[in-house]
Structure 1
Amino acid sequence: MTESLHSADATASPRRTPARRDVLKAAAVATGAAALPVAIATRAAADPSPAPAFLHGVASGDPLPDGVLLWTRVTPTPEAHPGSGAGPDLAVTWQVAADRNFASVVASGTVTASAASDHTVKADVRGLAADTAYWYRFTAGGASSTTGRTRTAPAADAALDRLRLGVASCANWEAGYFSAYRHLAARGDLDVLLFLGDYIYEYKSGEFCARGTVVRPHQPLNETVTLADYRTRHGACKTDADLQALQAQVPVIAIWDDHEFADNASSTGAVNHQPDTEGDWGARVAAAKQAYFEWMPVRPSIAGTTYRRLRYGKLADLHLLDERSFRTAQATTGSGDVDSPDRTITGRAQLDWLKAGLSASDTTWRLIGNEVMISPVAFLSLPAFLLRPIAKLLGLPEEGLAVNTDQWDGYTHDRRELLDHLASNGIGNTVFLTGDIHSAWACDVPAEAATYPASGSVATEFVVTSVTSDNVDDFLKVPPQTLSLAGVAAIEAANRHVKWVDLDSHGYGVLDVTPDRVQMDYYILADRTRADSTSSWTRSYRTRSGSQQVERVWSPVT
């Protein structure tokens, strides 16, 4: 079924405490854009009356059975660079065709690019055929964009044999090149790119580079605080050739995490936000959200957030969460406050929406686009009947000493409510897809971690590592898969539901969904600091229908 632009259920169908970098350091111990204004100026010098230009690529997103969202950004004049607030209004025409030569144009229209939207434009195209490939392009003032390819979702009742998603998160421009996007684009077999947050990073140049190497400087060089700052950072990111190639090839489904705002963001502030020097948190969030929705091919949903729902026939629905806009500020590590019913990671309305959607789902699989890890990662955990009374007496967490209270471990009441809902209603085949922590994981999601495996698993979780952002080996400044292995051993020994962890690699995942199983293939980059980095398959895990458990697979899906 179709949905309005502001609906939380955009139904589409088939085919800091502590800050994250401190958590990674603790785990380790326990174990182009800069050239863009010059290029524009050079072009202006060569042509005193330059034509408009499409310098930031094209993209499509949030596919529905009858439509898709199209996006681009036009530079009408040389001074109208991202974040400038300069440049005239310009009419931009879009076309959708059934063939790449545009001999059969099936839809077209005109939108206006203006400084009010940073000269970004979107077209929410409807009236298309389900499960169909289309080509699209934009023109303005005699200039044409590159041609993009997209695909509508299948009909809601379509019986699908397969759905294949590229999965990525945590792409810090300064830390390396986006080679992962090039390798995803080269596959040619993806239905969609699922991006799980941290599309940009807010830090000032050089602040989040553990090995001390800035591969390519941020624009702007300062930390992003204002609307102009966030627009400039998004614009710089969109100049990456590998990102442009991928987003022109497959539709994007994206959610944000904290670095689209500031590190360890919550509803009331962030670890990386100082009100005395950086102003009001609400104003900063509003600026960040405006820039995000201008620059990303995403439909805003309830209250201008990213939580919404898409559908892929009878095979899978995809519940996309926003775990930043409504959450309570992070608790102190080791505090029993993490168990308080007054604390929330989703907010009441979103949790009720998620539970209702999971109950109503009639698909084989329920996929949850999840910003931060839901599987428990705790130490000193005792059986529940012993731990909880002792923990209450001592003011300690009832589910063990959590390492990272920024994830669901810091909001155990919400987690228990959600997992109890799955268990008590017999809702199976639920798979959490997660980014955020710059490492790769494959986990059962236990009903009771302290008594797992006897207490069973109610869901599974696949966590993908970072595209470029610093990992444990980067903080240690050692070769990967050396000192961090002690941390991996400690995590797996204390958390038996965790089946695999890689704390060091950079890369991406490919999720293959069939009626019988969901499989995540993990790929790693040889060197994030090289634009021509190769990638290679490293591991695969799957969950079989009805099992609620992950198991290792010895080869990727071909």
Structure 2
Amino acid sequence: MDSTARHILDLSRRGLLRGAGGLAALAATVAMPRAGAAQPMFRSFPFTLGVASGDPAPDGFVIWTRLAPEPLAPDGGMVRQAMEVRWEVAEDQRFARVVASGTAIARPELAHAVHVEVTGLAPGRLWFYRFRAGTEASATGRSRTAPAAGAAMDRLRFAVAGCQHYEHGHFTAWRHIAAEPDLDFVFHYGDYIYEYRGRVPGQPGWGPLVRPHLGEETVALADYRLRYAQYRLDPDLRAAHAAHPFLVSYDDHEVDNNWAGLHSEEDGRGRFPIAVPPEVFALRKAAAFQAWYEHMPLRRAALPRGPDITAYRRLDFGSMARVNVLDTRQFRDDQPCHDGVRPACADAARPEAQMLGPAQETWLLEGLADSPARWNILAQQVPMMRRVLSGGVSMDKWDGYAAARQRLLDGMAARRTANPVVLSGDVHVALAATLRARPEDAASAPVATEFTATSATSAGDGVAMTPGGEELLRRNPDITLFDARRGYCVSEATATRMTTEFVALPFVTREGAPRETAARLVVEAGRAGVQRV
């Protein structure tokens, strides 16, 4: 058993079996200097889940932490009372030159997480931050402000990763991402957690069982909080968050596999003969969105309102790039043709089909129309490229929402959007493709380029090519790359080109995998489509 597993099991025994006693002991140690917020003293280190930053702007960014001295215990081992947390941002790692500081309130209603929107910083540079609670200090995090609006940049460098099923492997990909130099941000496309019930050794299930989930399938808020705490305890994931600012989004597993808008996966079809009504599923969505917000470096604008959340947003990086972070789950129609991989049915061809929803789609096209950026990035979840598979197309991807995809491609072409690049994930393989004006017509003009990052762990160890991959490339000439190993992407944009390195790990079912380059692909400015280096 590795050290992380021993640590989690120890925390589980102390937290889950002695939770009530631990809370009572902790309550006895808390001093109350004034009404409203307690000045905490802790029996054990409260910053067990690390620190994070996100959504960089020219004058600042969000910094995050959560007080959880017993992270796998109910309420993280905290008393249900608001606590003061101090924060600092400095020019140097030793905090000799502190430039911003203040206090935030860690509230029990939000799992004692804090989200500080730091402002007043100089643009385009590296900063260091930390938190203090009582006599305890957090780890030090690094973050970057975005360049000033319209400022020239020599380059923009970012990573793309997601699909990190805890049970399927070690988070070695995140250790390598933590060590990547000079990243302006990391885009996490989603599937930060997996909601499934923990596997039982020796029982059948999807993927390998490397380290088990704690608890049952996540349904209630306490379930989701426990699952995020287990993932956040991983030292490689904590290191990546501390090293770089993140742009986070969510896909399906943060809530429920293949959920779509108002609809649960348990929709009364196929394997789920008893449907979950939308009004009941809304309760699960509310719990899932709250836990996601509590554990991500997000601004107050993303605070959920029950089952509703505004997670789509836009960030500019000088004159180099406009990044549109999209939500392809909350506003989509239910998957057509009974979901799965199927031949297209009439429902998949509906002209009113919605993937982004009318409001988000309009917002996106307006932002693409007035963008001053050299590169226009659509950071989203599921592949937009046409993927004809042996059994048809996947109804959960943009292939199942062909009219919505066509409206977006038409909109980009009509607005002459400069250098659109789509980022995606979800399918646990690395892909690169040219997006054409009419995806089904290989002779139509290229409009955009798509890079799909493989999973960080989901599906366990992989190989570069599979029979299914060979068939995919044969059926889809606009798909240039297929690689079924685990890993992530690193892209570097300049005024003339965007180069994307597909990083592969030879294994994740044991620790210590080296970083390998699977491919390097290029998009030339002014020329949509993928080229190999």
Q: TM-score scaled to structure 1, two decimals?
A: 0.83
DSSP 3-state at the match of 1:451: coil
DSSP 3-state at the match of 1:358: helix
Name the CA distance, whole Å, in 1 between partners of 2:415 and 2:187: 28
Per the alignment, residue 501 of structure 2 pairs with 521
CA contact (8 A) 2:64 2:297 kept: yes
Written as runs of structure 1 = structure 2, the 5 A alignment for 1:246-261 is 246-261=240-255
Query: Which one of 255, 265, 279 corresponds to residue 259 of structure 2?
Result: 265
Name the CA distance, whole Å, in 2 between partners of 1:276 and 1:409: 25
Q: Deviations over 1:311-366 (max 9, x none)?
A: 10000010010011111000113212111023211100000011110111011000
Inter-CA distance 513–94: structure 2 relative to 1 (3 Å threshold): same
Name the CA distance, whole Å, in 2 between partners of 1:326 and 1:301: 18
Name the CA distance, whole Å, in 2 between partners of 1:39 and 1:167: 36
Query: Which one of 136, 148, 166 corresponds to residue 173 of structure 1?
Result: 166
Name the CA distance, whole Å, in 1 between partners of 2:321 and 2:516: 28
Query: Which one of 395, 398, 402 corresponds to residue 412 of structure 1?
Result: 402
Q: Structure 1 residue 192: deviation in Å?
A: 1.3
Query: Which one of 351, 355, 372 corresponds to residue 345 of structure 1?
Result: 355
Per the alignment, residue 231 of structure 2 pairs with 237
Q: Structure 1 residue 212: deviation in Å?
A: 5.8
Inter-CA distance 529–76: structure 2 relative to 1 (3 Å threshold): closer
CA contact (8 A) 2:266 2:275 kept: no
Name the CA distance, whole Å, in 1 between partners of 2:508 and 2:395: 28
Per the alignment, residue 3 of structure 2 pairs with none
> 2:402 corresponds to which letter in structure 1?
T
CA contact (8 A) 1:377 1:491 kept: yes
Inter-CA distance 89–104: structure 2 relative to 1 (3 Å threshold): same
Per the alignment, residue 210 of structure 2 pairs with 215
Inter-CA distance 517–168: structure 2 relative to 1 (3 Å threshold): same
CA contact (8 A) 1:44 1:78 kept: no
Name the CA distance, whole Å, in 1 between partners of 2:398 and 2:392: 10
Name the CA distance, whole Å, in 2 between partners of 1:415 and 1:542: 24
Matched, 1:138 2:131: yes
Q: Deviations over 1:468-492 (max 9, x none)?
A: 0017xx7xxxx7346x2x3222222
Inter-CA distance 34–271: structure 2 relative to 1 (3 Å threshold): farther
Per the alignment, residue 320 of structure 2 pairs with 315
Matched, 1:488 2:493: no
Name the CA distance, whole Å, in 2 between partners of 1:350 and 1:189: 31
> 1:268 corresponds to which letter in structure 2?
L
Inter-CA distance 79–538: structure 2 relative to 1 (3 Å threshold): closer
Q: Structure 1 residue 403: deviation in Å?
A: 1.9
DSSP 3-state at the match of 2:297: coil
Matched, 1:468 2:457: yes
CA contact (8 A) 1:37 1:81 kept: no
Written as runs of structure 1 = structure 2, the 5 A alignment for 1:46-445 is 50-51=43-44, 53-75=46-68, 81-82=74-75, 86-206=79-199, 213-219=208-214, 221-271=215-265, 280-299=280-299, 301=301, 304-332=309-337, 333-334=342-343, 335-378=345-388, 402-445=392-435
**Paired residues, what number?**
491
Inter-CA distance 410–52: structure 2 relative to 1 (3 Å threshold): same
CA contact (8 A) 2:59 2:122 kept: yes
Name the CA distance, whole Å, in 2 between partners of 1:132 and 1:217: 40
Q: Structure 1 residue 79: deviation in Å?
A: 8.6
- Identical pairs, percent: 38
Q: Structure 1 residue 57: deviation in Å?
A: 0.2
CA contact (8 A) 1:266 1:328 kept: yes
Name the CA distance, whole Å, in 2 between partners of 1:414 and 1:505: 30
DSSP 3-state at the match of 2:177: helix
Gaps of 5+ in 1: 1-31, 381-400, 554-558
Which of the pair has the greater relative contact order for Cα pairs under 8 Å at 6+ separation? 1
Name the CA distance, whole Å, in 1 between partners of 2:68 and 2:206: 36
Moved more, 182-191 or 145-154: 182-191
DSSP 3-state at the match of 1:235: helix
CA contact (8 A) 1:74 1:113 kept: yes
Q: Deviations over 1:101-143 (max 9, x none)?
A: 1111111111121221111111111111111211111111111
Moved more, 68-77 or 140-149: 68-77
Inter-CA distance 54–525: structure 2 relative to 1 (3 Å threshold): same
Moved more, 222-231 or 269-278: 269-278
Q: Structure 1 residue 450: deviation in Å?
A: 3.2
DSSP 3-state at the match of 2:243: coil
CA contact (8 A) 1:508 1:524 kept: yes
DSSP 3-state at the match of 1:56: coil
> 2:336 corresponds to which letter in structure 1?
A
Q: Deviations over 1:123-167 (max 9, x none)?
A: 111111111211111111111101111111110111001111111
CA contact (8 A) 1:151 1:251 kept: yes
CA contact (8 A) 2:12 2:73 kept: no
RMSD: 2.6
Name the CA distance, whole Å, in 2 between partners of 1:369 and 1:79: 32
Name the CA distance, whole Å, in 2 between partners of 1:517 and 1:121: 39
Name the CA distance, whole Å, in 2 between partners of 1:425 and 1:277: 41
Per the alignment, residue 11 of structure 1 pairs with none
Name the CA distance, whole Å, in 1 between partners of 2:463 and 2:70: 46
Inter-CA distance 301–405: structure 2 relative to 1 (3 Å threshold): farther
Matched, 1:36 2:11: yes
> 1:455 corresponds to which letter in structure 2?
S
Name the CA distance, whole Å, in 2 between partners of 1:404 and 1:79: 37
Query: Which one of 447, 454, 464 corresponds to residue 458 of structure 1?
Result: 447
Name the CA distance, whole Å, in 2 between partners of 1:213 and 1:34: 19
CA contact (8 A) 1:431 1:460 kept: yes
Per the alignment, residue 396 of structure 1 pairs with none
Q: TM-score scaled to structure 2, two decimals?
A: 0.86
CA contact (8 A) 2:432 2:451 kept: yes
Inter-CA distance 34–272: structure 2 relative to 1 (3 Å threshold): farther
DSSP 3-state at the match of 1:378: coil
CA contact (8 A) 2:47 2:68 kept: yes
Name the CA distance, whole Å, in 2 between partners of 1:492 and 1:136: 46
Moved more, 45-54 or 259-268: 45-54
Name the CA distance, whole Å, in 2 between partners of 1:121 and 1:304: 18
Inter-CA distance 519–210: structure 2 relative to 1 (3 Å threshold): farther
CA contact (8 A) 2:383 2:452 kept: yes
> 2:453 corresponds to which letter in structure 1?
V
CA contact (8 A) 1:169 1:199 kept: yes
Q: Structure 1 residue 246: deviation in Å?
A: 1.0
Gaps of 5+ in 2: 1-6, 30-42, 303-307
Written as runs of structure 1 = structure 2, the 5 A alignment for 1:543-554 is 543-553=523-533
